[in-house]
């Protein structure tokens, strides 16, 4: 008997009990029919397996490309967020960074156990570009949530609810007007009166679309000019009489009435709208993480206090009116001019020296530490004496002596540290810990094959570990134990704050 294997079959695959052999001619048709069934069953089985494999492969592909942002943030222990510079978002007050968006971000990063890297971006379109390019993880500008934006961005739950408000200037001499009606007669309250008016708005905001809709609703023309200035800069321009109208979210507008009492922000241009943060489209794992934190945070007393601090508390008026507010006053401290005068002694940007002074004393000239360090720069009595000073020294004398001492430390450092930026880090570390410990750190760094002339990732690692017996008992360590974490943080905090100062105080 002859046996033929169908080309789709394999003897190793097809079960042998399917094959029946007949010698009778009359069974040929039946035998053919059974063979056909076998073929169909096998092909169906193969098709099912192939489909299953395709589904399995597709599923594996989906699983292998999950949302990555939250994993990346946690693995590098840093959240990179963009915000804008303003009285609500982020500013410097008496040397300290503050702002509603900033403090919210600080609480989020504390919850996540990561550091915050804050990037100041004035242009909304630029921040979206940076988000899509992977340069930042989060836009924390308080964006208005819209359907069109939701097509390209992943929004968190609302942080605030607000309305778009018309910002206009009260009439000249309004304080002398006898009645409120007299003031009101000069102001727009009916949206119909926007016809033929010119309104300036920040480029990239949702205000343009709202004004276009209003123009359609009133069946008249509204002249809309988009500019590369943020909303608070435009509010200032209204207050100064440079332009007549702009548009702002209500919460920003109300805060700015503290700066500019001559502006009016009582005319709404929209219904209530959601304000939220934004992540890259598809990063739902990240937004879910933020939303989970928001849900819990909004139940806390801290959340209520934070909102009150920036939007309700009368104390906030003192902040906005202070000259030591980087947004409106343009100063860090009462000693800015003295710091600028002394900074050439050490050859530093004055804002680095200012950051050091804030770290040491928060700009308080008479503060004394438990170990006896005194004044703005917390110099020990023996160091003050070296420059002919004591606790009666004036702020100018304290700052000048501090700058001279920093220069002295710089001269003691090895000439092999040639990079000026690196030398600043070594000088700051020496100012905090003493030059001897820093030289110990350099020797350890060299012993373990790293670069003793680079601070980050090299010498700072061994300074951080000089509280470990394995290191401070090493034969190359001459000055022994050091609580290195304090010095490590000292350098990082001063330089990070100095960068904030440079962003916000540009002169």
**What is the Rg, in whole angstroms, of the alpha carbon atoms belonging to the chain?**
34
- Looking at residue 239, its pLDDT comes to 92
Residue 221 included in any domain: yes
| Pair 97, 118 in one domain | yes
SS3 per residue for 217-253: HCCCCCEEEEECCCHHHHHHHHHCCCCCEEEEEHHHH
Any residues with CB less than 8 A from the CB of 330 and at least 6 apart, and which? 323, 505, 507
CATH code for position 229: 3.40.190.10
Look up the domain containing 41 and give its range.
Answer: 16-63
314-333: per-residue pLDDT in tens? 555 555 545 445 555 567 88
What pLDDT sits at residue 47? 43
Flag whether 425 is in a domain.
Answer: yes
Q: What is the pLDDT at residue 494? A: 93
Structural domains in the chain (count): 4
Q: Mean pLDDT across the stretch 146-151?
A: 91
Q: Where are the alpha helices (DSSP H) in 218-349?
A: 231-239, 250-259, 284-297, 301-311, 315-321, 336-346
For the stretch 366-405, pLDDT in tens is 888 766 788 999 988 888 888 998 888 999 999 999 999 9
Whole-angstrom distance, CA of residue 297 vs CA of residue 308: 15
Nearest alpha carbon to residue 382 among 365, 403, 361, 405: 405
Contact yes or no for 442/452 (Cβ under 8 A): yes
In a domain, 155, yes or no: no
Looking at the structure, tell me whether residues 360 and 441 fall in a common domain: yes
DSSP codes, 110-158: HHHT-EEEEEE---HHHHHHHHHTTS-SEEEEEEEP-HHHHTTEEE-S-
What's the whole-number mean pLDDT along residues 221-225?
Answer: 96
The model's confidence at residue 301, banded by pLDDT at 50, 70 and 90, is confident
Tell whether 397 is covered by a domain. yes
The verdict on residue 148 lying in a domain is no
Query: Where is the domain boundary, 63, 82, 98?
Result: 63
Q: Could you give the CA distance from residue 252 to residue 238 in angstroms, rounded to a whole number?
A: 14
CA distance 359 to 355: 6
**pTM of the full predicted structure?**
0.56
Residue 159 lies in a domain: no
**Co-location of 89 and 214 in the same domain:** no
The tokens for 344 are: 């050439």
Please indicate, yes or no, whether residues 363 and 496 belong to a single structural domain of this protein: yes
* Mean pLDDT value across the chain: 82
**9 within some domain:** no
| Residue 156 belongs to a domain | no
User: Is 192 in the same domain as 315?
Assistant: no
Same domain flag for 352 and 259: no
118 and 48, same domain (yes or no):
no
Q: Are residues 234 and 196 in the same domain?
A: yes
């Amino acid at each position: 008997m002859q046996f033929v294997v169908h080309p789709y079959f394999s003897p190793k695959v097809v079960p042998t009990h399917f094959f029946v052999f007949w010698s009778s001619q009359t069974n040929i048709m039946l035998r053919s029919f059974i063979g056909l069934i076998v073929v169909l069953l096998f092909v169906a089985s193969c098709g099912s397996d192939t489909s299953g494999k395709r589904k399995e492969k597709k599923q594996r592909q989906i699983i292998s490309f999950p949302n990555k942002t939250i994993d990346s943030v946690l693995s590098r222990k840093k959240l990179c967020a963009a915000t804008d510079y303003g009285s609500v978002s982020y500013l410097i007050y008496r040397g300290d960074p503050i702002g509603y968006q900033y403090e919210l971000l600080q609480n989020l990063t504390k919850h996540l156990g990561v550091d915050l890297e804050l990037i100041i971006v004035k242009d909304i379109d630029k921040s979206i570009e940076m988000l899509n390019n992977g340069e930042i993880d989060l836009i924390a500008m308080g964006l208005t949530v819209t359907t069109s934006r939701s097509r390209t961005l992943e929004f968190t739950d609302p942080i605030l609810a607000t309305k778009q408000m018309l910002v206009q200037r009260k009439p000249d001499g309004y304080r002398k007007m006898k009645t409120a009606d007299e003031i009101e007669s000069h102001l727009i309250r009916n949206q119909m009166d926007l016809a033929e008016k010119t309104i300036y708005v920040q480029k990239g905001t949702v205000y343009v679309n709202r004004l276009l809709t209003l123009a359609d609703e009133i069946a008249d023309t509204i002249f809309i000019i988009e500019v590369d200035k943020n909303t608070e800069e435009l509010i200032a321009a209204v207050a100064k009489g440079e332009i007549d109208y702009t548009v702002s979210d209500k919460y920003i507008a109300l805060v700015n009435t503290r700066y500019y009492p001559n502006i009016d922000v009582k005319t709404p241009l929209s219904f209530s709208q959601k304000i939220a943060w934004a992540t890259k489209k598809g990063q739902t794992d990240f937004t879910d993480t933020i939303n989970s934190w928001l849900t819990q945070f909004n139940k806390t007393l801290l959340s209520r206090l934070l909102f009150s601090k920036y939007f309700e508390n009368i104390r906030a008026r003192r902040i906005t009116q202070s000259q030591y507010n980087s947004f409106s006053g343009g100063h860090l401290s009462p000693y800015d001019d003295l710091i600028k005068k002394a900074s050439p002694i050490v050859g530093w940007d004055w804002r680095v020296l200012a950051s050091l002074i804030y770290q040491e004393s928060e700009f308080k000239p008479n503060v004394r530490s438990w170990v006896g360090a005194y004044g703005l720069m917390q110099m020990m009595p023996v160091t003050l004496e070296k420059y002919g000073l004591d606790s009666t020294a004036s702020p100018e004398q304290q700052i000048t002596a501090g700058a001279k001492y920093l220069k002295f430390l710089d001269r003691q450092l090895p000439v092999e540290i040639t990079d000026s930026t690196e030398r600043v880090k070594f000088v700051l570390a020496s100012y905090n810990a003493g030059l001897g410990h820093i030289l110990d750190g350099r020797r350890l760094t060299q012993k373990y094959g790293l670069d003793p002339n680079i601070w980050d990732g090299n010498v700072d690692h061994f300074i951080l570990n000089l509280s470990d017996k394995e290191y401070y008992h090493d034969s190359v360590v001459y000055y022994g134990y050091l609580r290195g974490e304090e010095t490590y943080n000292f350098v990082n905090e001063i330089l990070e704050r100095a960068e904030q100062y440079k962003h916000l105080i540009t002169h």
